[in-house]
Structure formats: structure tokens, C-alpha cells
Structure 1
Amino acid sequence: MAQGESPGNLQATYPFQMIAMDHIPSLPKSFKGNTELLIWVHLFSGYVIAKACSSRTAQTVAENYDECVCRRFGASEVIRHDREPGSMSDSFRAINRIVGQNQRATMAYRPQANGTAERMVQTLTRALKMYVSDVNQKDWDEYAERLTYSLNTAQDRVRGDTPFYLTHGLDPRSTLEVSLPLGSTRRVDTSARLWRYHIQRHYQRAREQVRESLRVAIHEGTDRQNEEARPDKIEAGVQVWLYLDRVKEGYARKRAHMWHGPFRVVGMVGDHAARLETAGTEYRLFPVVHVSKLKLV
């Protein structure tokens, strides 16, 4: 009986030689009717491809694989996947036979055998939870495929480079270059290292511009506030209202009463704080407050 290679010993030596496939099932039905997210990870470069779909039938899996992987990058030597019906179907096997691609199904109940894809499933799931803005999470498919671009252009600690660069042999032109008035940013250097230094200079200049813009905006805002503000003269003996940013549970914030009191100022604590007389009132609070929280009655 012939013995093949152990799945755990398979190691890709060039891009798209081996692909791992997995999916995120039973997601909330999106506005477009999608409930599944198919994921492909290239084991050499770490490049990720995601495709939202409405089902994971054998026909859907085969069509999406042909659209997202085969027609963009060509067929691989090996594809690794779990024993989902869509992956083990005759139609998907037929596609693999046509393109000469070997299937490597993992053992049942052993996700470690497809660890790269399983890890990416967790990463995308957490990322989607952070980015979805709809209360019912019905816009997740609008973000899923965009998030893969962020993953593909992020530095990989293990590989020492970005999956995008390892796959395409170049770094993507970013919107940062387009927005900066620095002239042409076309790639004229034959050396990838020199080109990366060129990108880093753009990034450093952008950070300096942002830092200077923030500094100017902060100073202008402070000066404008100091010119327009006319603070009340808070001193010992006056009656004041106290602003308390507290809302009882069940009350609408915009209708809540925020100014409480009145309180009598017992004395000043420095130039920016006042001590209030709270004895005999229903309020239980620390009596020393900042003058910005007070206004005259």
C-alpha cells in the first residue's frame, strides 16, 4: 500500500503552490442575502482571499473558487480543506481533476491539520466584529473583502514581508502617495529596497505634516476659546449651579437635567477649583469641583 506525505509535513516553496480553504458559517443574513464567508489562504505568502456568498453548496463553492482563485492566479498543486460536503462533492473534485490539482482533506474533528485557515477564520471573525456598524450586523459582507486587503498589506512577522509583496513582487500604491503633493511617485527604481525607502520617506513626511497641522489646530482652538470665553466670577459666598454628567437609568440623556443645586461656594481651592457646601443637601459628592463645572445662579 502506497503511503503519501503527511499533511503536517507539507510545505509550500513558492506562491500559490498550496492553498488552504475554510469558511465562516451561519453569519447574520446581510442586506445582500449573504450568510457565509469562504476563505482561501496561500500557505507560502499568507495571502488571503475572502468571498461572501448566500450558501455553501457544492456548486457555490466550485464557482467561487473558480472566480476568486483560478481565474486570478491560476490553479495550485495542492488545496487543503476540511470535510465539508461542498469541498468533498463530485463537482469540486471534477474541477480539481480538470486543472490537475490535488485535494488534501483533513481528518474529521482535527482542525489543527488546517491550522493556517482556521487561524485566519478567527482573525477575520474578530475583525468583522470590530468593524461592522449596523446593530444587527447586516453589513458584514461590505467589510469582509476589504479587511483582507489590510491583512495582505500588513507585515508578516514570520515571513518578514507582506503577503501582497510576496505574491505580486511589488508594494501596492497607497492613497497616501496620491494625497500628498510630492510629484510623481511612479516606480522608477529597479531595486525594491530603494523603492521601499522612497515610500518610507513619503510616510515620514506625511507624519510630520500631520503633526504640524495638529499643533497649529490645537493652538488656534485654544486662542479662539480664550478670546471668546467669558467665565463667571466664582468666589466665596456666591450661589452656583453644578453641572453633573449623570443620568438615571431609564432616562433619556438629551432630556435629563444636568445642572443641579444651587450650592454656596465656601471658598476657593487655588485658581481653578471651588469648595461647595453640600451639608444638608440630598447630594452625595466630593465638595471640591473645577470651576468649569460651575455657573452663577
Structure 2
Amino acid sequence: MSLRIVVTVKYVPDATGDRHFADDLTVDRDDVDGLLSELDEYAVEQALQISENSDDDVEITVLTVGPEDAKDALRKALSMGADKAIHVEDDDLHGTDALGTSLVLAKAVEKAGYDLVISGMASTDGTMGVVPALLAERLGVPQVTLLSEVSVEDGTVKGRRDGDAASEQLEASLPAVVSVTDQSGEARYPSFKGIMAAKKKPVQSWDLSDLDIEAEEVGLEGAYTVVDAAAERPARTAGTIVKDEGEGGKQLAEYLASQKFI
């Protein structure tokens, strides 16, 4: 038997960089370095672990939607050990929101062929966390989200979801969509051998026409959500210093009360 896993990954602005909005109030991705979303590294890791623990032939495809530079995210995933990659790139995708992204991903996943889709719990730029559920709905398959542990056996995906007060054991028959949290296991670092091998692995490039998607369905024109206004975060001001000359505790309590912390 064979198991086809598609891992959705995203190329995001480096959170340590100076991020801001462009003139059209979309995220300016040109003036800041990008990288594979850290939360998606956990999804790649779980796919690799499923492959290593499976008696079946497992093929891992990493899929991203984004500009030319998004290939860097694919190369990172390939160097970790994924088998091949798909890059959906089209100028009309600029400004696409979560709903539009789920449409593009669903079409690409269907075209690629799959048994299991694995996603990170959210992207580190938008942090919405809704795309895995939207993707499952569009594909018409079960979703098992926010897993801290995941495995596949006999056509069934199983996992543990940890909540604040309890943990749940969940399962779904394949095909299915799952998302994993940052508690699912540390993602491996690419080895030198993996980095060199990634250069020879196939990367397919598709655009909207390849997926039978009209430009009006995605991008800013097709977005269900828009940013109306944005303002830069105020510069950090000097903190309040409480000098303890016998009544430091009282002054601190008064300050905390005035800020409604207590």
C-alpha cells in the first residue's frame, strides 16, 4: 500500500524583522526577510515521523501558495526530508485572505492527489488558525485539528488534542485533514546531506489557470475580509519607577490599580 501525505506550508515574514503594511494595507513582504513558518515545521516533522514509522510506501509533498521567494520555504521542507514540492504562484493571488487561500489549497491538493493533509496549527504572520478547517470543508473530508500527537494506521489517522483541563483521543478515516501544535515534537534540523539532496528534488509550479480558479475568486477583489485602516505601534515610552522609601509597596499597588491590573 501507499500513503500520500501533503503538507501545507507558508512563507512568512521573519517575526524578528521590521514588519509593516504596504500602501494597499496588505503585509509588505518585500522589505523584510522571509522564512518557513515555524509552526509549519512541526507539520513537516510529523509527516516525516509517520513515514519513518510506517510499513507502507509514503510520499510526502509540501505545498505552498505565495510569491517567488516562497520557494525558500519549500527548499527548507525538502531539506528536512520531504520528497517533492508544489508552488502555486500567480500575481492575482496578492491580498488573498484565509477563505481564498483555502480554495487554492483545496484545488491544489485535489490535483496533486492525497490521503492525508497535515498543516501547522496557524501561520506565524496571520495567526488565524482557520485554514485547516476551511480546507477540510472544501475537500469534504474529516478534520482532526490541534493535535499534540498524531499517527496513521490501517487507513485511520489518530491523535491527541490537549486542552486546558483534559486531553481527547481523536481519530478519523482517511482521507482527512489534520493540524498539529508546537507541542507535537521538535522539528529536525536539515542535515548537509539533506540540503544537497533537496536541490535535486522536483518542484512543480502551478498558477490559477492550472487549478481552474478565476482571478475574481481570490486576491483583494475576492477577499471576504479586508483591512480598512492600520497605524504603527506607538514607540515604547520610559517605564514608571517606584522608589521604595518605606511606602514602595503602597505606591506599586496604587499604580497597578490605576492601570486596572488589580
TM-score of the superposition, structure 2-length normalised? 0.29
Q: Which has the higher helix share?
A: 1
Q: Which has the larger radius of gyration?
A: 1
Q: Which has the higher contact order (CA 8 A, sep 6+)?
A: 2
TM-score of the superposition, structure 1-length normalised? 0.27
Q: Which has the higher strand share?
A: 2
